[in-house]
Every structure is written in C-alpha cells, then in structure tokens.
C-alpha cells in the first residue's frame, strides 16, 4: 500500500500565492460605489483595509510572494497533509481514489488562519494597532484572534449574540489568544445601540455584527477591519492550500478528475480549487469543479448573478455575485459558515463562465455522509466541510456504479470539535431539513439594487 498521507517538507511549501485574476478568460466585473454608481478605487477602501491588502484585491500579477514572516507562522502547521482516504474508499466499495486536504491541523482548526495570518501581517506592517471583525459561530473570529496575537495587534470580535451565549467554546478560544469578544448587537456602536433600542433582546445577526465592526474601524484611524471570506485577497491567501495539494498530487503520481469543496463565502473552496482551475484554463485540463452549498442557502443553485450589497445594512460597496438578496434570513442549519447570502465574486465569475458547477444538499444527508467519513477515516469534520464530503460520497458511489476509477479530491476545511451538539441531534434524529422557498428568493431578488455595470 502507498502512503496514506502525502506530506511536503517545509522547504517544499509554496513561496507565492496564486492570483487567478491573471488567467481569467474575461476580467472580473468592477466593484461599484453605491452612491456614485462608479467603480470604486483603492482610496475608497483605505479607511477599512491596509493598502497592502487593497493592492492585492485588485492585483493582476499571476504570483504574489508570501512574506517570510507569514511563512514562518504557516510552518506551525503547514504544509498540511493530503490524505488518501483508503478506508473510506473501502467502506464505500468504490473504485475511485479519494484524496482530502486536511486543514483541521491548524491551531484554530480550519483553513481560516491562512488568510488571518496574512491580514494581520499586512496590517501590522502599516502600523495598525487594532483590528475589528465579526464572527458567527466563531471559526473566523478565533482564526483572527490567533493571528493578531502573533503579530501583537489588538483584536476585537463582534460575535452574533445568540452564538456568543450558546456556543461559548470558540469565544473562550479567542480570549485564550488574548482577543476581546463582544456580543453583538453591543452598546459600543451606533449601529448596535440602534438595534438594541428597537429590540433589547435582539439575538443579533452577521449583518449587524459586520455593521458594528465596520463602524469602529471607519471611525478610528489606528483601527482596520478584516473579512474572512468573499474578497479577492482572502481567496488569494487561501491558494496556499491548492498549491500545496498540486505538489502533493505530483508526489502521489495522480491528478484530480473532480475537485470538490463547500461554499459559504467561498474562500476554502477557492483556495483549494483555483490552482487547479488555472490548469483547466491554461493547460486545458478536463477537471470538473463542484461547489457544494446547503439547500437552506442555495446561493449559486437558486440565486441570481447581480450586483448586491455584502451586508444586510447596505453599508458595503456593490459586488457582482450570485446572491439570495442582502435581506436573506438563513434557516438555523448547523453549518453556520455556509449561511451567507452572497458568494466570492471570483467563484461566481467562474461559475458564470461555465468553469465550475454547483450542487446543494440537505443537512440530514450531509451529516449521514460525515458519519460515514468519520467512522472510516477517524477525523470528525465540521458541518460545513461535511457538505463537500456528501458530494464526494455521491461521486464515489457513481464510480461504484459505473466502474470508473476517478480521482476525487476535496478540501477537508476543518474539524467538528465545536459542532458535536449538531452531531448529537443527527444521531438522535432531531435534525430538520430546510429548503429555502422559491417565492422568498423571488421576493428578495426583486429588491436588489438597480445597478448593472
């Protein structure tokens, strides 16, 4: 039997991120200023982000050097292993080869620190003293806390109140790394106070938390804001995942026929997939790409490709993306990271160009596949990641039926150690499936901003 884990040494770790903007068959649509209707420029973003990240957001350079200081932090857990799922293949009785990139080995337990560390570094370099952000279930907030601590930057996380109260573990993780975590809506911001005035018991939402974090950053010269997905520079930083995977596939003597990942804002899948998308565009590889989303938040499978706001309060620039409308209210599924109304513009663009497919699954089927995986491979995945696992399982079963020996690869983006309550509900048959109603989608999409560039 060949190796179970395909490892890279630290010397073999990629020294550059890959920027797909250099290889796109058509350029990305511009980001639009909601006031002027004109494309925004770097200066419009300067109150929120350091210039180093803004320049990456719009860069057309194919490869961007990873600074030494970031590489040194990555080495705490990177290169992450690419694992051949021999046991799961056997359990599924499939002739397919299944590989997964295992990002759960990072200290916060997901792919999120790949960009959190980079963002903290560029902020530090420009003298930023404090970074604000929002977090739902806490994956992103904990990753940014970890990263800010290493670069000696204050970190303030506005955490959706209902998660703050119900899911204390990720919050304690943030505090262990020295961050301040505040339940949102808070009394610290105008946005928060306004919500609390209307509803003192507001459970909060990601939209509100974004508004709070952005408000503090916009008002304080020494404070910037950080986002954990969607934006081009976030996806850029995540390409370390796919670049490593390419080197690992080369070592294994294989190349994936199908590349799979779950999508919420899109960063873990993009990070894994984009280097392989390059091969499809440039080298005419025939790889299939499958983005997997929940039926309860079917952004790509049921949404429209239109200009929309990134947040509920309509404070962000307008981004062309698949969207369910910025007023979208997600059902309480356990994959908290996949409940975003929009999607990374780069992924939407590739989807629109026909370079990528999308599928949606119900959460019960998703947990069923997660248990199948965990019982074969040991590692218990996050509910978000389990969406990728479900799609992989379906591909593997199709191969069993057709006899095809396809190479299937998915990004195992994080562990489920803080999601075990959801596993318990699945095991107790207490989970519900949610389908987002067609009429609600139509209604939300009827209220999209009237802009089309």
Binding residues for its own copies (CB under 8 A): 1, 3-5, 7, 9-11, 72, 75-77, 83, 87, 105-109, 146, 149-150, 168-169, 172-173, 175-178, 371, 374-375, 377-380, 417-418, 420-421, 423-424, 427
CB atoms within 10 A of CB 260: 29
Instruction: Give the C-alpha separation, 17 to 66, whole Å.
Output: 7
Q: Specify the residue, 72 or 404, whose C-beta has the smaller distance to its own copies.
A: 72
Q: Report in angstroms how near the CB of residue 64 gets to its own copies at its nearest.
A: 22
- The nearest distance, CB 426 to its own copies, in angstroms, is 9
For its own copies, give the closer residue by CB, 72 or 435.
Answer: 72
The first and second tokens of residue 349, run together, are 């663009």
Nearer to its own copies, 79 or 207 (CB): 79
Phi, psi of 107 (to 5 degrees): -55, -45
Reply yes or no: is the peptide bond before residue 79 cis, omega within 30 of 0.
yes
Please report how close the Cβ of residue 368 comes to its own copies at its closest, in angstroms.
Answer: 12
Residue 375 CB, shortest distance to its own copies, in Å, is 5
**In contact, 112 and 228? CB cutoff 8 Å:** yes
Give least dist CB 372 to its own copies, A: 11
Report the alpha-carbon distance of residue 424 to residue 55 in Å, rounded: 45
CA distance 352 to 164: 37
User: Which residue lies nearer to its own copies by CB, 18 or 426?
Assistant: 426
Distance CA 286, CA 59 (A): 27
Nearer to its own copies, 261 or 414 (CB): 414
Q: What is the residue whose two structure tokens read 């419009």?
A: 44
* Number of CB atoms found within 10 A of residue 166's CB: 11
- Of residues 167 and 326, the one with the C-beta less far from its own copies: 167
Specify whether the CB–CB gap between 13 and 7 falls below 8 A. no
> Closer CB to its own copies, residue 20 or residue 179?
179
Shortest approach of its own copies to residue 366 CB, angstroms?
14
| Inter-CA distances, 55 with 52, 64, 204, 232, 233, Å | 5, 11, 33, 10, 9
Looking from the CA of 328 toward its CB, the CA atoms found within 13 Å total 33
Q: How far is the CB of 376 from its own copies (least distance, A)?
A: 8
Beta strands in 143-179 (DSSP E): 154-160
For residue 389, the cross-strand partners are: none
Instruction: Give 212 or 419: the residue with its C-beta nearer to its own copies.
Output: 419
Smallest distance, its own copies to C-beta of residue 142, A: 10
């Amino acid at each position: 039997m060949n190796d179970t884990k395909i490892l890279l040494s630290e010397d073999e770790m990629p020294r550059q991120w890959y920027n797909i903007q250099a290889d796109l068959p058509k350029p990305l649509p511009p980001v639009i200023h909601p006031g002027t209707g004109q494309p925004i420029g770097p200066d419009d973003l300067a109150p929120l982000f350091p210039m180093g990240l803004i320049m990456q957001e719009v860069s057309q350079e194919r490869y961007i050097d990873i600074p030494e200081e970031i590489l040194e932090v990555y080495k705490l857990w990177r290169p992450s292993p690419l694992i051949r799922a021999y046991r799961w293949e056997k359990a599924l009785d499939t002739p397919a080869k299944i590989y997964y990139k295992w990002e759960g080995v990072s200290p916060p337990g997901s792919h999120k620190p790949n960009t959190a560390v980079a963002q903290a570094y560029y902020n530090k370099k420009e003298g930023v003293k404090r970074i604000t952000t929002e977090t739902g279930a806490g994956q992103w907030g904990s990753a940014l806390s970890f990263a800010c601590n290493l670069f000696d930057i204050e970190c303030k996380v506005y955490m959706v109140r209902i998660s703050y109260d119900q899911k204390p573990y990720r919050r304690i993780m943030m505090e262990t790394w020295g961050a301040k975590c505040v339940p949102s809506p808070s009394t610290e911001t105008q946005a928060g106070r306004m919500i609390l005035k209307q509803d003192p018991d507001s459970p909060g939402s990601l939209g509100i938390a974004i508004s709070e974090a952005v408000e503090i950053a916009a008002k304080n010269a020494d404070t910037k804001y950080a986002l954990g997905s969607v934006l081009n520079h976030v996806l850029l930083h995540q390409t370390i995942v796919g670049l490593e995977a390419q080197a690992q596939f080369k070592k294994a003597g294989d190349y994936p026929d199908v590349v799979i990942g779950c999508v919420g804002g899109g960063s873990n899948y993009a990070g894994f997939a984009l280097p392989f998308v390059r091969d499809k565009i440039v080298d005419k590889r025939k790889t299939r790409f499958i983005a997997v989303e929940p039926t309860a938040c079917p952004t790509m499978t049921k949404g429209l490709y239109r200009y929309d706001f990134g947040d509920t309060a309509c404070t962000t620039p307008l981004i062309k993306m698949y969207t369910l409308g910025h007023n979208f209210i997600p059902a309480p599924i356990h994959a908290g990271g996949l409940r975003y109304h929009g999607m990374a513009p780069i992924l939407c663009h590739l989807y629109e160009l026909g370079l990528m497919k999308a599928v949606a699954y119900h959460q019960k089927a998703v947990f069923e596949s997660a248990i199948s995986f965990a019982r074969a491979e040991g590692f218990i995945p996050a509910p978000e990641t389990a969406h990728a696992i479900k799609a992989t399982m379906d591909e593997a079963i199709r191969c069993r039926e057709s006899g095809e020996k396809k190479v299937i690869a998915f990004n195992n983006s994080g562990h489920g150690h803080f999601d075990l309550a959801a596993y318990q509900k699945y095991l107790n048959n207490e989970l519900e499936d949610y389908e987002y109603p067609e009429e609600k989608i139509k209604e939300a999409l009827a209220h999209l901003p009237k802009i089309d560039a």
